[in-house]
Amino acid sequence: MLYRVIDRDELPSLVAAFMERYEVIAPVQRGSKYVFAAVDSFDDIVLDYPTTIASPKKYLMPAKETLFEFNAEENAVTDYTCEVPARVLFGVHACDINGMLNLNSVFTDPRYPDPYFQARNDATLIVGIGCTPSEFCFCNLMDSEEARPSYDLFLTDIGEKYLVSIGSVVAANILEGACTVREATDADRIAFRAVTRARQKAFNQDIPDVQEIPMLMDAFHEDPFWEELGGRCLSCNACANVCPTCYCFDIRDTLDPGGATGRRERVWDACTSPQFAMVAGGHNFRPTPVERVRHRMYHKLNGFLATHDRSLCVGCGRCALACKVDISPIEVLKFFERKGA
Ligand code: SF4
Ligand code: SF4
């Protein structure tokens, strides 16, 4: 990885350079919260945000998208059109970068690649930024504290400067054109290490650091704990909607009023939804919230690991914030701690 340094006051020039060629999506304030949204001025961007309500997942996998349109009278199907604007996701935290990498592993699997996701992914640059953990963050426990090298640039604030980790040629060229780029000095590296250490100390120490989580998920699969945890679930799907790594979807065909034309749409779905595991004939493989919550936690903390060698949950903490009845992987970690793990 190549490291460079720019002065803090050059960041607006970098964003302006991106805006010449890309739609820029960045964290902005909405009331007392933060969201990712399109911006047309550097002044709208908030870079020291704690976390956003939802992840930037929607820019790679919209909550609803048309896959193709059909005309039954003409027996015609339009090719899918994925008119994706060239975008920069600017100011993304490490957990969300790793979350998008998890989505990437799913949707670019060569056995069943997803052209819609791929088109968006190919048109998107990612500029990450270092963060300070908030109360519900536990990316450090999910091996997601550092962004895996799937970004184009990653900025770390080291005082009046940013240490810039460069991940792509296209972003490096834009950086070089917009800013006075310097080699990192020993003092810059020392400052970077100090920032990293301070960040590590800032994580909420009340969230237990449990080892061998996948094994524990198997060992306690039948424990009454799941009745207590899952029994509280309201099936509202808020957890899945804010999660950077939930990727399940449903497919619907919608007919226009005449009945001859229509479209096939993909919409987000969630395994916490009562109908999610219902099949033809009416059988439901997970009819209770207890089974659904346990399934969700199992996939996040164990199931994905078997095929992708990393946990699906990246520890962003959003579901802990969103859930009205305190269901989240944090509660599972606390349960394992109570069991002496
Ligand atoms: S399960 Fe919760 S903490 Fe884990 S990635 Fe999803 S929203 Fe974040
Ligand atoms: S776990 Fe919480 S956020 Fe998720 S569906 Fe159940 S009640 Fe809603």
**Digitized pLDDT (tens) for each residue of the chain, 341 residues in all:** 799 999 999 999 999 999 999 999 999 999 999 999 999 999 999 999 999 999 999 999 999 999 999 999 999 998 776 678 999 999 999 999 999 999 999 999 999 999 999 999 999 999 999 999 999 999 999 999 999 989 999 999 999 999 999 999 999 999 999 999 999 999 999 999 999 999 999 999 999 999 999 999 999 999 999 999 999 999 999 999 999 999 999 999 999 999 899 999 999 999 999 999 999 999 999 999 999 999 999 999 999 998 899 999 999 999 999 999 999 999 999 999 999 87
Task: Provide the pLDDT for residue 20.
Answer: 97
CA of 317 to the centre of ligand 1 (A): 6
Nearest to 200 by CA among 146, 244, 148: 146
66-to-21, 61, 63, 107 alpha-carbon distances in Å: 26, 11, 10, 17
Task: Provide the pLDDT for residue 177.
Answer: 97
Task: Provide the pLDDT for residue 83.
Answer: 76
Nearest to 131 by CA among 154, 114, 151: 154
User: Letter for the amino acid at 197?
Assistant: R
> Ligand 1 in contact with 329 (CB < 6 A)?
yes
Give the bridge partners for 64, in sequence order.
267
Residue nearest (by alpha carbon) to ligand 1 atom 5 = 313
CA of 200 to the centre of ligand 1 (A): 19
Task: Provide the pLDDT for residue 79.
Answer: 76
CA of 227 to the centre of ligand 2 (A): 14
CA of 297 to the centre of ligand 1 (A): 10
CA of 240 to the centre of ligand 2 (A): 8
> Ligand 1 in contact with 316 (CB < 6 A)?
yes
Q: What is the C-alpha separation between 10 and 198, in angstroms, rounded?
A: 25
Pocket of ligand 2 (CB under 6 A): 233-239, 272, 293, 322-323, 325, 327
Nearest to 162 by CA among 12, 26, 301, 299: 12
> Ligand 1 in contact with 243 (CB < 6 A)?
yes
CA of 153 to the centre of ligand 1 (A): 24
Task: Provide the pLDDT for residue 80.
Answer: 73
Residue nearest (by alpha carbon) to ligand 1 atom 2 = 319
| Residue ranges per structural domain of the chain | 2-201, 213-338
Question: Which 3 state secondary structure label does DSSP give 49?
Answer: coil
From the CA of 246, the nearest ligand is: 1
